[in-house]
Amino acid sequence: MRPPLENVLRNALVQNLELIEPGLRPVQFEEYPLPNAHGTRGSIDILARDRHQMWVVIELKRSRSSARQALHEVNKYTELLCREKNLAPDRIRAVILAMPDDWEELLIAVSHAARDWSHDLRGYQLLLDSDGTPIGTERVEFLPRAFEPRITPIHNLFFFTTEEQREQGWRIICKVADELGALDLLAADLDRVADKHSFPAPFGLYLAVGRVNEELAATDLLGGYDGPEPFAEEHQAEYLALCELCNRLARSKLRGMKMGSAQPGQLKNLRDDPNWAIQGFRGTGAYDDTAAFEQQDLFRFLTGDERGDSQILYTGTASPQVASRWNTFRQEARQSFAGNHEWESLVDGWLDEVGPKVGEGDVGLHVYNPCDLLQTIIHGWPDGLDNLLPMVMGEAVPRHGLRHSVRGALCWNGRGMSLRDAVRFVYRDPLFLMSNMYAGTVWERDRELLDLLGLHYVLLEKIGPVGSEATVVDEHRIWTHHDQGPRVYSSETDPRGYAQAYASIAADGEIVSIGQYLNRHSHEVELVAREYRALTHGF
């Protein structure tokens, strides 16, 4: 049966809106015209009020070709109605009515719009009798957001005595992954390439757990986790999956196998360590066919760079006027400051300030936040420090006006213990150092070490006109962290406060960065580097 003309259906429905929802009543029985001073106009098929006195825009589509216009027209009419009647978004909603077959064309697009739209949007199938008269409607169930099997920050390291043992361990991991509900896992093979024969377990496997699809997961993963680890709230199922993987491997009697915790960003350190080399990647589930990805993509997945999950390194840009990206950008940046509350607080404060000033312009950040000064010395001294020292570089550039450039610095205040004594005080013995490395708590020890040395995280900001060279008349500001939050001192508006802040972070009247500090104390740095390289030689 061919559906009746749209105006016939509309006239029948407007007389009996209860077929759609109880309590609906028409505002008027004709189409509701919406003239507009901005040049666009149109007519709402049916404008109604519901039992909560909300305004309801009802769009009727009787053919597949006209159904394709539904979202465009619903968007236009709700916006025009909001403007005409000065309505808040929570006082208006929309309904799309279409034939059952037409929802094959509409379902994906309308499902996507309903998830992200500021108004409530619903869909109904219109049911007709043999004469083409409306006799009822059925609510359309929109599609849920597609499951994204991305890698989470739940990582672990395994070390095996032989390559064959690593293969056996991987087979166990794959079997457990299948039992737990086809887990999406991604791993990198790491081989010891220096002094390989003196290292008891030279074949490494760096493993990361992908998001658990709760519709497919085993019930053991869905009970929740209430332990002390920081993953409890956001990645409970993934952490429980990793625990089961580790427990099964521990019971497998793979002699000499070792394991330790890991976190996003750590694979970068292993790649840069001359003792280790990444030999390839392997995966299960969504990552089973690693050949479908480029090697650099797999590496970025494991380091967390792809989605800002890295707790060490981040590079990103955004415009404050694109709200969805701006909020994600800030969350990604915040994630990279894990273990560094000072920089997290200061950069948050800086972004709060520059966001409204930039407008349609751009903000960019580059962060490297290792929170491990001792490892920086071990692996970077004396020629590789530039790539391993902590840094923040930020630019906020409006279309017109003043450009804000910020640099995060770890500064020495000229006080504190000697480097060698402080390192020995914090890292009491090799076992204590190794236990913190495996437990992922080095960042806590690093905070103790920095305090003993008189090193503090700050932000140094420079403000000047866009498109001009820096001059001495540019405004300079210092951002420092206090218990109450960030404080900013300006050379232009508060010269006295700026001078005091400068003196508090400077050594003998000069700001000394961490790189300059290490070079000034090169003899001690050399002794520490030699001593702890020997202690960690087996790692």
Answer yes or no: do 134 and 157 share one domain.
Answer: no
305, part of any domain: no
Question: Collapsing DSSP states into helix, strand and coil, what is residue 114?
Answer: helix
145, part of any domain: no
Answer yes or no: do 167 and 190 share one domain.
Answer: yes
| Residue 495: both structure tokens together | 């010269």
Answer yes or no: do 287 and 383 share one domain.
Answer: no
| pLDDT confidence of residue 505 | 93
379, part of any domain: yes
| pLDDT confidence of residue 197 | 76
Residues 6+ apart with CB under 8 A from 147: 211, 213, 215
| pLDDT confidence of residue 20 | 94
| pLDDT confidence of residue 64 | 64
| pLDDT confidence of residue 45 | 93
Answer yes or no: do 133 and 242 share one domain.
Answer: no
Answer yes or no: do 430 and 469 share one domain.
Answer: yes
Closest CA to 374 of 271, 475, 455: 455
Answer yes or no: do 367 and 454 share one domain.
Answer: yes
366, part of any domain: yes
Answer yes or no: do 68 and 89 share one domain.
Answer: yes
1, part of any domain: no
Summarised one tens digit per residue, pLDDT across range 84-100 is: 888 888 899 999 999 89
| pLDDT confidence of residue 36 | 67
Closest CA to 347 of 371, 361, 363, 358: 363
Number of domains within the chain: 3
Measured distance CA(212)–CA(180) in Å, rounded: 9
Query: Where a domain ends, among 260, 295, 330?
Result: 295
Instruction: Please tell me the pTM assigned to this model.
Output: 0.61
| Residue 384: both structure tokens together | 């590789």
Answer yes or no: do 491 and 524 share one domain.
Answer: yes
331, part of any domain: yes
| pLDDT confidence of residue 539 | 46
Answer yes or no: do 358 and 492 share one domain.
Answer: yes
**Domain that includes residue 426, residue range:** 313-535
Answer yes or no: do 194 and 126 share one domain.
Answer: no
Which residue has 């825009």 as its token pair? Answer: 57
84, part of any domain: yes
> What CATH number has the domain bearing residue 27?
3.40.1350.10
Q: What is the mean pLDDT of each run of 10 residues along the chain (539 residues)?
A: 75 93 92 75 90 93 70 89 87 92 88 87 92 91 84 90 96 92 92 83 94 77 55 74 89 87 79 88 92 88 67 85 88 86 95 93 92 89 88 93 94 94 88 69 89 96 77 81 91 93 92 95 93 64
Answer yes or no: do 174 and 134 share one domain.
Answer: no
Encoded amino acid at 447, one letter: R
Residue 213 per-residue DSSP state: -
Angle, helices 522-535 vs 373-380, to 10°: value is: 90
Answer yes or no: do 456 and 332 share one domain.
Answer: yes
245, part of any domain: yes
Query: Where a domain ends, among 79, 113, 139?
Result: 139
Query: Where a domain ends, among 263, 295, 327?
Result: 295
